[in-house]
């Protein structure tokens, strides 16, 4: 997927950042509530809505941790319900995504999945990662719990299975801390820059802080992907993920701020801006070179014969010393606009 020699951008959001609303387990096993959250998230303006597809027995060993096994069984949805949610996302015009924790579900959910998400807990689950990489679709990999060596090891493992993930930058990495909620100092947003420097891949941030400050900061630092948990309300909730989740109204506000941040960031070329040009400030704010007195042809120009003043007409102040020491070829008056043609070569 190379177009005109350029790597295709797989994670391009409509507001300059690819924004994922993570419903995850916030539906708490209630399908009607999952549908409601999906509609609210789509209305918030995000690019994608993400779920977690699992069954308790495919995720947690019931002999080792029966309580967590029972917890996930309570939160799981059925195959048909996940398909209905995927179709609902399509109807609402948003991308359906999921972390696939039950590898058997790939057989029915793949056709609905343009982008795969691998959660932090599965960064070292190479058997699951291999199955997803063999499909060949773009992947977003969260890096919570991992050190840099583990992240780079998994990235190289992905490349070894399918080099297109490196060549086309079809893999993105998210800085993440896998706790709910995390203190501000655990966000470690600078790690995004480390991941980009070490891999050259698109990077982003999966947020587990309270509020939107961390997300705003990540966008300002160059995050290309943002993942935020989503709920309808945090009031009266007991499941932990709700407390790090944003509501529709909060995501509306966040997207407005993202749009402003992207506008403020602008481009990478250092050139005069349109407002600077249209206001004529490129001329009126800069200095030109002018005579300090009437000068006659044949005189050799000294520094004291010249002054730099606004506006920048004729000869720009940057050429002041190009004129000093040259012979004047014509008579000029104090303060008049000068031309390089007035001076010897």
**Domains in the chain and their CATH numbers?**
11-265 (3.20.20.70), 274-342 (3.90.1210.10)
For each of the chain's 345 residues, which pLDDT tens digit applies? 333 334 458 999 999 999 999 998 788 889 999 999 999 999 999 999 999 998 888 899 999 999 988 888 888 899 999 999 999 999 999 999 999 998 999 999 999 999 999 999 999 999 999 999 999 999 999 999 999 999 999 999 999 999 999 999 999 999 999 998 999 999 999 999 999 999 999 999 999 999 999 999 999 999 999 999 998 887 766 666 666 788 999 999 999 999 999 999 999 999 999 999 999 999 999 999 999 999 999 999 999 999 999 999 999 999 999 999 999 999 999 999 999 999 999
The number of beta carbons lying within 10 Å of the beta carbon of residue 5 is 5
Helix residue ranges per DSSP H, the chain:
31-44, 56-59, 66-75, 79-92, 106-109, 126-135, 148-161, 164-167, 190-199, 213-220, 248-265, 274-278, 281-284, 320-323
């Amino acid at each position: 997927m190379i177009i005109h020699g350029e790597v295709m951008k797989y994670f391009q959001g409509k507001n300059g950042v690819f924004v994922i609303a993570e419903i995850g387990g916030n539906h708490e096993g209630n399908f009607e509530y999952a549908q409601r959250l999906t509609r609210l998230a789509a209305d918030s303006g995000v690019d994608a809505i993400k779920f977690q597809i699992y069954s308790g027995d495919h995720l947690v060993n019931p002999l080792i941790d029966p309580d967590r096994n029972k917890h996930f069984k309570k939160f799981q949805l059925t195959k048909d319900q996940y398909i209905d949610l995927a179709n609902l996302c399509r109807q609402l015009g948003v991308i359906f995504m999921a972390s696939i924790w039950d590898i058997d579900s790939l057989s029915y959910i793949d056709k609905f999945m343009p982008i795969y998400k691998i959660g932090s807990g599965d960064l070292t689950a190479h058997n699951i990662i291999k199955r997803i990489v063999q499909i060949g679709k773009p992947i977003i990999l969260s890096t919570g719990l991992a050190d840099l060596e583990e992240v780079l090891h998994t990235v190289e493992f992905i490349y070894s299975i399918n080099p297109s993930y490196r060549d086309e930058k079809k893999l993105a990495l998210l800085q993440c801390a896998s706790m709910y909620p995390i203190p501000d100092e655990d966000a470690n947003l600078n790690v995004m820059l480390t991941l980009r420097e070490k891999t050259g891949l698109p990077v982003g941030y999966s947020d587990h802080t309270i509020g939107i400050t961390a997300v705003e900061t990540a966008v300002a630092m160059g995050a290309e992907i943002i993942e935020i948990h989503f709920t309808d309300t945090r009031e009266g909730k007991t499941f932990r993920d709700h407390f790090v989740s944003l509501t529709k109204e909060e995501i509306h506000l966040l997207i407005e701020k993202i749009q402003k941040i992207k506008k403020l960031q602008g481009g990478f070329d250092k050139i005069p801006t349109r407002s600077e040009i249209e206001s004529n400030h490129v001329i009126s704010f800069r200095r030109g070179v002018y005579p300090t007195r009437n000068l006659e042809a044949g005189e050799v120009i000294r520094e004291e014969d010249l002054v730099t003043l606004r506006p920048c007409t004729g000869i720009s102040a940057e050429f002041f010393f190009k004129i000093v020491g040259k012979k004047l070829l014509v008579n000029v008056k104090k303060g008049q606009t000068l031309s390089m043609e007035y001076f010897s070569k």
